[in-house]
Amino acid sequence: MQKIGFIDIGRDSALYIIERKGDRFEFKTQKHFHCSDNYEISVPELPDGVDEFYLSLPLSALDFRLLELPFSDAEKILNVLPFELDSIVLEGAESIISDGIILNHGSGKSRVLAVFVKKAVLSSILEKLRNFNINPKVVTSIELSRVIKDFSPDKLLNPVQTDQKERADIAIEEIKKSTINLRRGEFLYTGDTERIIKSLRQIMVLGIIALMIFITSFVIKTVVAKRELSFINRDIQKIYSDIFPEDKNKFSGLYQFKSKMKALKDKETYLAGISPLNLLLGISNINRGNIFFSEIAMDSDKVTLKGEASAFSDVQNIKNVLADILDDANIADSKTSVQGKVLFTITGREKKG
C-alpha cells in the first residue's frame, strides 16, 4: 500500500491523502491550508507515512499560448516549444518552464496548447513546500484538466468551478496520468534517484559492517584455533613423555612421535604380513569419488577390495588411484547388480618402504 499526498493550490487550497493498492486508488481524507495570492503557504501537520507528493497549480499561476506546429510527434513538440515561446515571452524562454498539450492533429499538423510558468514562481512555491518536507514528484493542474475537455480559449479565462469532492476525484486521475508536468529541466524531480543513492549507501554500510564482522570472527577463530592447537601439542607431549620417559628432549610431541616411528622403521629388517593401519590410512586418504568399499580383506601377501560403483569407468579410475598404495593393482572381477550398480573386486599387494 502506498500513501500519496496531493497538494491542490486554488481558491480553497487543500491537501488530499490518497491510498494506492495496486491499480486501485482510494481517497482517504483532506486537510485545508492557507495559501495567499503570492503563494505564502502554511501546510497543516502531515500524516505519517506519506510516500510521495503531487502538486496542482491554479490557472492564475500559468500562462498559455496556442500554437500550430507542422508535426504531431509529442517528443518533438516538447523539444521545439522553448524555441517557439522564446519570441513570444517577454523575458525569453530561459525564464520559464513549459509543457504542451496536443489538442488535435491531422495531415501532419498539430494544434498545441503551450503551458508555462515563470521559473521564479515555481521555484518559490517548491522552496516553501520544502520547508514542510514536501517535494512534489509532478507539478500539474486540476483546473487545466477540466479546461482541455471540449477546449475553447474562453475556458482559460472563465474556468468551470468544481467542488472539493470533484477536485479530489480529478487529483486521482492526475496521479494516474498527469495532464502536464512542469517538473522539467532544472526543476526535474530527483527524489527516486536520491532514494536509490541512499539505499546504495545503506547497502555499502551494511556490507562494510558484514566485512568487519567476518574479519573479527576470523581473527577470533584463528586465536581459538591456536589455543586449541597449543592444548593438543601439550597433550601429545605428555603422552610422548609417558611412553618414552627416557627421552628428555623437549621438542614438539608430534615431531618426536614421527621421529620415533621413523627410527623403528629404519631398524625393521622385515615385518611379516601387511600393516593394516598403514593400508587403511592410505585408503582413507585417496579420492574415492562415487566408489563405496563394502569389504577389505588382507593376508600376509595379498589385499582384496570389494565394493560398488556407479559406472565401469569409476572402477577403472579407482584402480589407477589405488596404484599409489598397492603394487600390481588389478580388477579381478566386475559385474552389474540388479539395482544397476557395478560390483567389483580389486586385488593387489601393499607397497613396501
User: How far apart are alpha carbons 242 and 238 in whole angstroms?
Assistant: 6
**Do residues 46 and 175 both lie within one domain?**
yes
User: Looking at the domain assignment, is residue 246 inside a domain?
Assistant: yes
> Of the candidates 159, 189, 219, which is a domain's last residue?
189
**Do residues 31 and 123 both lie within one domain?**
yes
**3-class secondary structure for the chain?**
CEEEEEEECCCCCEEEEEEEECCEEEEEEEEECEECCCCCEECCCCCCCCCEEEEECCHHHCEEEEEEECCCCHHHHHHHHHHHHHCCCCCCHHHEEEEEEEEEEECCEEEEEEEEEEHHHHHHHHHHHHCCCCCEEEEECHHHHHHCCCCCHHHHHCCCCCCHHHHHHHHHHHHHCCCCCCCCHHHCCCHHHHHHHHHHHHHHHHHHHHHHHHHHHHHHHHHHHHHHHHHHHHHHHHHHHHHCCCCCCCCCHHHHHHHHHHHHHHHCCCCCCCCHHHHHHHHHHCCCCCCEEEEEEECCCCEEEEEEECCHHHHHHHHHHHCCCEEEEEEEEEEECCCCCEEEEEEEEECCC
Cα radius of gyration rounded to whole Å, the chain:
43
Count of structural domains, the chain: 3
User: Looking at the domain assignment, is residue 257 inside a domain?
Assistant: yes
Half-sphere exposure of 61 (CA within 13 A, CB side): 30
pLDDT at position 17 is 94
User: How far apart are alpha carbons 235 and 151 in whole angstroms?
Assistant: 97
User: Looking at the domain assignment, is residue 207 inside a domain?
Assistant: yes
**Do residues 297 and 251 both lie within one domain?**
no
- Strands across the sheet with 109-118, in order? 63-69, 109-118, 96-106
**Do residues 20 and 163 both lie within one domain?**
yes
Which residues are within 8 A (CB) of 81 and not within 5 positions of it... i.e. 6 or more apart? Answer: 67, 98, 99, 100, 112, 114
Asked whether 171 and 56 are in contact (CB, 8 A), the reply is yes
**Do residues 176 and 313 both lie within one domain?**
no
> Of the candidates 189, 221, 256, which is a domain's last residue?
189
**Do residues 57 and 185 both lie within one domain?**
yes
**Do residues 171 and 244 both lie within one domain?**
no
Range of the domain at 67: 2-189
User: Looking at the domain assignment, is residue 296 inside a domain?
Assistant: yes
**Do residues 239 and 283 both lie within one domain?**
no
CA dist list (Å): 238 to 10, 257, 306: 92, 12, 40
**Do residues 70 and 143 both lie within one domain?**
yes
The CATH number for 163's domain is 3.30.420.380
**Do residues 292 and 345 both lie within one domain?**
yes
Residue 72 CB burial class (10 angstroms; 0-12, 13-18, ≥19): middle
User: Looking at the domain assignment, is residue 329 inside a domain?
Assistant: yes
For residue 192 the three cell numbers come to 527516486
pLDDT at position 271 is 45
Q: What is the pLDDT along the chain (353 residues), one digit of tens a residue?
A: 899 999 999 888 999 999 999 889 999 999 999 888 888 888 878 888 899 999 999 999 999 999 999 887 888 888 899 898 988 888 888 999 999 999 887 777 889 999 999 999 999 999 999 999 999 999 999 999 888 888 888 888 877 788 888 999 999 999 999 999 999 989 999 876 666 666 777 788 888 888 888 888 888 888 888 888 777 777 777 766 665 566 666 555 566 666 666 665 655 444 445 567 777 777 777 777 778 888 888 876 788 989 898 888 888 988 888 888 888 888 888 888 888 888 999 998 887 76
User: Looking at the domain assignment, is residue 115 inside a domain?
Assistant: yes
> Of the candidates 267, 290, 305, which is a domain's last residue?
267
pTM, to two decimals: 0.56
**Do residues 74 and 118 both lie within one domain?**
yes
User: Looking at the domain assignment, is residue 194 inside a domain?
Assistant: no
Q: Which of 306, 287, 301 is nearest to 351 (CA)?
A: 301
pLDDT at position 260 is 62
pLDDT at position 183 is 94
User: Looking at the domain assignment, is residue 43 inside a domain?
Assistant: yes
**Do residues 90 and 145 both lie within one domain?**
yes
